[in-house]
Structure 1
Amino acid sequence: MGIKPSRLSTVFAQRLSLAGQYLILQLLIIAVVLAGVVAVSLTQSTNNFEKVEGRRSLSAAESLAANPLLRVLIPNAAPEMGSALPAMAETTRSTSGLQFVVLADRYGTVITSTFPDDVGTSILHPESQVAQGRGWTGDITRNGEHVLIAQVPVLNDEGSMVGIVSAGQSYPSTRELIQEIAPSALITLVIAVALGAIGSVLLSRRVKHQTRGMEPREIAELFEHREALLHGVKEGIISVSPDSRVMLANDIAIELLQLPLDCVGQTLTELDVAPQVSRALTTQQQQPDRQFLIGERVVVFNRMPVKTARKDHGSVTTFRDRTELTLLEQELGDSKATADMLRSQTHEFANHLHAISGLIQLQEYDEVIGFIDGVSFSRSKVFEDVTAHIAEPTIAALLIAKASVATERGIKFEVSSDSRLERGDEQIARDLTTVIGNLLDNAMDALAEVPEPKIELSIQEIDEIVTVKVTDNGAGIADEAMKEIFTQGFSTKDTTVSGGRGFGLALSRLVCRRRQGDITVVNDRGAQFTATLRK
């Protein structure tokens, strides 16, 4: 089996160094250019020959036609009669250096010629204008030979044509023309090859310096490896130049940032990227894993500047979708808070049992009964207030736990008497847990320094629409924070903790919008958050 030419050329190119490939390419270019120069030179030489020799032939023919003796002898001349006309023709041919001179009568029949075989033949040609009494120069083919001729009429004293003089020269062969231009072409070829070789070496060194000494096949392999790596990872990768222009973006980055497919080469402003995302891609990152809400997704950013000793290349940012993980973290946080609350209640119950045990040992039975009734009433009232209005067990358990936390913090927690919530599937229970838990936690944090803190919760279910209202008597939301409180990882609390803050409300709005609802806030003697979700 043979190797295909294309495959063979590929293998050959892979084995050659960059300098060798440049040299071969330049030699091919030089060969093509040289062939073109030779063709042009041949054409130019032919044109010069026609111009110079045509003028010389015409001049010789005109000089002979003007000879008075010729004008007298030629009207009565006949082929092979007398030697005067052949002598005159030969003298003109040898003097002018032409190849041949022919004399013919006025009808074009050859009387005498340098070529004896032409005697008696006609020298008139379809293109010739000598029959009209005008001189003519042109090219003909004679016995397979390309010939340049000039024909001039011989006129008597009355101006009538009495004969024809024809003189000419054969065109030089291609070999003769090449031999003529060979010295200059050879010098040009040598100079071009030398310059090409020197240029190839210098260009190869320059390119190798810029490519860190890598050969083309190594660069191609590196590019293929980079492309496979870039589009094979599960994280989004985007590179931004110092002038905020996207230089590279993989498929995950385009999807997560909602960019167009032709985003590479455009600036962040032209792409209409959200301001917080633009800041994340262009500003120095102090903390790892910065979180941003993009559309309905929580995306974690990590930016790394790219610099060399000579130049700032911008930065590379990696990011990943943490929406589901963040929601699970929120649920885990609620579960942990519930577990902590139950643990504290265990200690509280243990203290109550110790008190009851002590009263029994002191035989203070009336006090024991009163103490037990007080504890039972306090617990059962909270339980009854919740379970009487909330049929969903997950939400009921969450509210009982939050009520205990509020009591520990000295916050008065009330569930409105008109609250109603029927049982639902597991998913709506999980989503309501996220929304209600975040709203209650934010309300409790906002009441940390309020003298008589109070939280009121209202849950309404009408036509499969669940409306949750959480109202506190705190300082409310500042006007400048109203627009940012849901759109970004915004928080008025410490944001240096691991994982960041300010995503509770953003996640709550995300959950609400997933269920065709939304969340709003107004200031009414405190902050009032209203969330709507469709079951």
Structure 2
Amino acid sequence: MIQVTHSYAKDVLVVVKLIKSPARGFRSLAGQFLVFQLLVVAIVLIAVAAVSVAQSTREFREVRGARMIAVAENMASTPIVRDRYADVGASKVLAPEVDRAVALSGAGLAEIITPSGTVRVSSDPLRIGREVDMGPTRADEGRAWFGDLTIDGVHSLVGEVPILADSGDVVAVASVSERYPSVWELMGASGERLLFYLSLGAALGLLTSWLLSRRIKRHTRGLEIAEIASLADHREALLHSIREGVVAVNNEGDITLLNDSAQDLLGIAGDAVGRPVAGVGLDPAVVEFLLSGEDGRDIVIVTRTRVLAMNRRAATSQGQRIGTVTTMRDSTELAALQGQLSSHKSVTDTLRAQTHEFANQLHTISGLVQLGEYDAVRDLVGTLTRRRAEISDAVTQRISDPAVAALLIAKTTLAAESGVSLEIASASHLEALPPALATDVITLLGNLIDNAVDVSVGSKPARVTVSVDDHEGLTLSVADSGPGVPEHLRESIFARGVTSKSEVPGGRGIGLALVRIVTTQHGGTVEVIDDPSGGALFVVRLPAGVIAEKAAHA
């Protein structure tokens, strides 16, 4: 079995820094994150550039398209063009006009084309006489048009205007075109400001990514993804395999860790992790300890079904308090053994008291014999015999179980030594019990009687009344002549789990807590009320099937 200490539990939660070799480079978690961030920055920059290029392209098409139409209209309205476009030597006569159009507009190509698509005049002599695709032009219908066409394999912006005869018919088309600029030219056209902002964004993105990767590396102690996953798996396997319960609570009072043993000991499910301590149905004493208990000292806390030895320590990280870690052990069986030992001790004390009493009586008898007072000896022996018989008969006539009867006789003698009269109620009745149940009944009665005798010492009259009834289930009642139990303490008095009476003023420590645990284990109830004659009345009720069930198991 693994012995858990607070330092060990804390070590489980601390990541040990590992020495990394430079050869690992971008394979590390921080390196991968840096690459990822750089990729994001690159994507953002590309997106910004794409938007800028698209915007510049749209502006180029709108502005230059209008310019191309204007130049084409100017060329089409020139009288010499309208008069000589059909001449055989038009290519030479009109060459200066198309060259002037190119020069004025900054276009790449200016041409005069027949409506059927034959180039008559061109600023590029090699294109004269070619048949070209007019594309979606509307110039052959008498309307000006600009749009995109591919000219000699080059994506170009084209403006076309019809040349009209006096009759209004379209006799030719004036065409002016300019190739689309490249991406770099478009970005350059956006101005130095765009390039400055892109460069600044890239620099800031790189710096931020590098700083963030350094921060991640520092907070993960240089561990990589596989190492972090392995560490988490080992931690979970370790914490959930140990017998001791472990509960971690953060500074806000929320449960951050709960292993299997703690779930079993506290009677809560694993979904309590992440929820407030006060909202998962824990015993109030446990909630109080987890939130405000003392650090570094074992505390015994009794719930309705268990006795828990708990210890709470503060958890820190890098000098900062991050919460508390509480370990707990199940001491229920130990508490039960303590109760049984207390019962056997009371029998031993009874024998000791009787030995002392018999020694005094024998000394008296011996003295009377030496004095020859034989009649006085006879009378003394008779009196002692009757008194002993009365005590035994008062118990055995009502209590048939020998173990319980022996306990009551022993407690009667011990109570008398403390000046307290212990009486068995006349209506009491108890048949012989199975050995296992008899042991638990001894534990219940022994602790209740001891508590009653303690609080009755010094009262007038000092008495304790015990009632046992097995007609419907099993009912054990113990009334005392003490000061009673205040109503606001009648529940908490059973939850006080300490190691000595001095630690709980007015209580017997683990005794009453053990009474509730044993009662709960049998499915019964225990309560304390005011006795009609004064003092407190403790009543334990066990269900009817307990005796039969214990007898069957026996």
TM-score by structure 2 length? 0.79
The answer to whether 1:510 aligns with 2:520 is: no
Distance 2:65 2:347 in 1: 114
Report how far residue 27 of structure 1 moved.
Answer: 3.2
Distance 1:315 1:200 in 2: 35
1:522 paired residue number: 530
The answer to whether 1:253 aligns with 2:258 is: no
Whether contact under 8 Å (1:435, 1:511) holds in the other structure is yes
The 5-angstrom pairing of residues 195-214 of structure 1 reads 195=204, 198-199=207-208, 202-203=211-212, 206=215, 214=222
1:7 paired residue number: none
The answer to whether 1:124 aligns with 2:131 is: no
Of 391, 394, 407 in structure 1, the residue corresponding to residue 400 of structure 2 is 391
Report how far residue 181 of structure 1 moved.
Answer: 9.5
The 5-angstrom pairing of residues 148-159 of structure 1 reads 148-157=157-166, 159=168
Whether contact under 8 Å (2:295, 2:312) holds in the other structure is no
Whether contact under 8 Å (2:108, 2:178) holds in the other structure is yes
Structure 2 counterpart of 1:24, one-letter code: V
2:12 paired residue number: none
SS in 1 for 2:94: helix
The answer to whether 1:54 aligns with 2:65 is: yes
The 5-angstrom pairing of residues 2-41 of structure 1 reads 20-41=31-52
Greater relative CO (CA pairs within 8 A, separation 6+)? 2
1:532 paired residue number: 541
Structure 2 counterpart of 1:518, one-letter code: T
Report how far residue 442 of structure 1 moved.
Answer: 1.4
Whether contact under 8 Å (2:163, 2:171) holds in the other structure is yes
Whether contact under 8 Å (2:72, 2:174) holds in the other structure is yes
Whether contact under 8 Å (2:30, 2:217) holds in the other structure is no
2:17 paired residue number: none
SS in 1 for 2:272: coil
Structure 2 counterpart of 1:475, one-letter code: P
Report how far residue 267 of structure 1 moved.
Answer: 3.0
Whether contact under 8 Å (2:399, 2:405) holds in the other structure is yes
For residues 332-380 of structure 1, give each alpha carbon's deviation from its aligned partner in whole angstroms, at most 9, with x where no partner exists: 2212222232233334334444444555555544444433333333333
Distance 1:492 1:120 in 2: 116
For residues 284-331 of structure 1, give each alpha carbon's deviation from its aligned partner in whole angstroms, at most 9, with x where no partner exists: 428933333434233333222346897543433323333333222212
SS in 2 for 1:452: coil
**CA 1:257–1:66 in structure 2 vs 1: closer, same or farther (change >3 Å)?**
farther
For residues 50-109 of structure 1, give each alpha carbon's deviation from its aligned partner in whole angstroms, at most 9, with x where no partner exists: 3444233222212111212212233xx166656223442233234433222221234544
SS in 2 for 1:449: coil
Distance 2:34 2:490 in 1: 69
Report how far residue 179 of structure 1 moved.
Answer: 9.5
The answer to whether 1:495 aligns with 2:506 is: no
The answer to whether 1:466 aligns with 2:474 is: yes
**CA 1:109–1:115 in structure 2 vs 1: closer, same or farther (change >3 Å)?**
same
Distance 2:166 2:326 in 1: 103
Whether contact under 8 Å (1:148, 1:168) holds in the other structure is yes
Report how far residue 48 of structure 1 moved.
Answer: 4.5
Whether contact under 8 Å (1:129, 1:136) holds in the other structure is yes
Structure 2 counterpart of 1:298, one-letter code: V
For residues 247-285 of structure 1, give each alpha carbon's deviation from its aligned partner in whole angstroms, at most 9, with x where no partner exists: 333333344444454434433444465543332122242
Structure 1 counterpart of 2:307, one-letter code: V
2:241 paired residue number: 232
1:482 paired residue number: 490
1:67 paired residue number: 78
Distance 2:481 2:391 in 1: 21
Report how far residue 431 of structure 1 moved.
Answer: 2.2
**CA 1:409–1:224 in structure 2 vs 1: closer, same or farther (change >3 Å)?**
same
Range with greater deviation from structure 2 (477-486 or 329-338): 477-486
**CA 1:408–1:135 in structure 2 vs 1: closer, same or farther (change >3 Å)?**
same
Whether contact under 8 Å (1:305, 1:314) holds in the other structure is yes
Report how far residue 165 of structure 1 moved.
Answer: 0.8
The answer to whether 1:276 aligns with 2:285 is: yes
Report how far residue 406 of structure 1 moved.
Answer: 1.3
Structure 2 counterpart of 1:136, one-letter code: W
**CA 1:155–1:35 in structure 2 vs 1: closer, same or farther (change >3 Å)?**
same
2:7 paired residue number: none
Whether contact under 8 Å (2:300, 2:499) holds in the other structure is no
Report how far residue 446 of structure 1 moved.
Answer: 1.4
1:3 paired residue number: none
Whether contact under 8 Å (1:80, 1:111) holds in the other structure is no
Q: Equivalent pairs: percent with the same residue?
A: 36
Range with greater deviation from structure 2 (91-100 or 446-455): 91-100
Report how far residue 157 of structure 1 moved.
Answer: 4.9
Distance 1:251 1:480 in 2: 35
2:11 paired residue number: none
1:382 paired residue number: 391
**CA 1:23–1:243 in structure 2 vs 1: closer, same or farther (change >3 Å)?**
closer
1:304 paired residue number: 313
**CA 1:325–1:54 in structure 2 vs 1: closer, same or farther (change >3 Å)?**
same
2:300 paired residue number: 291
Report how far residue 208 of structure 1 moved.
Answer: 5.9
SS in 2 for 1:60: helix
For residues 111-135 of structure 1, give each alpha carbon's deviation from its aligned partner in whole angstroms, at most 9, with x where no partner exists: 233364562525432x222233221
The answer to whether 1:92 aligns with 2:124 is: no
**CA 1:359–1:79 in structure 2 vs 1: closer, same or farther (change >3 Å)?**
farther
Structure 1 counterpart of 2:253, one-letter code: S
Distance 2:125 2:353 in 1: 134
The answer to whether 1:147 aligns with 2:152 is: no
**CA 1:79–1:320 in structure 2 vs 1: closer, same or farther (change >3 Å)?**
farther
For residues 165-197 of structure 1, give each alpha carbon's deviation from its aligned partner in whole angstroms, at most 9, with x where no partner exists: 112123345687799999999988886776566
TM-score by structure 1 length? 0.82
Distance 2:91 2:196 in 1: 55
Structure 2 counterpart of 1:71, one-letter code: R
Whether contact under 8 Å (2:159, 2:176) holds in the other structure is yes
For residues 141-168 of structure 1, give each alpha carbon's deviation from its aligned partner in whole angstroms, at most 9, with x where no partner exists: 3454423211111234554433211121
For residues 499-523 of structure 1, give each alpha carbon's deviation from its aligned partner in whole angstroms, at most 9, with x where no partner exists: x944433332333343343223233
Whether contact under 8 Å (1:13, 1:21) holds in the other structure is no
Distance 2:23 2:380 in 1: 98
Structure 2 counterpart of 1:417, one-letter code: S
1:4 paired residue number: none
Distance 2:379 2:269 in 1: 72
Of 275, 286, 308 in structure 2, the residue corresponding to residue 266 of structure 1 is 275
1:340 paired residue number: 349
Distance 1:490 1:325 in 2: 13
Equivalent pairs, count: 518
Distance 2:107 2:295 in 1: 95
CA RMSD of aligned residues (A): 3.9
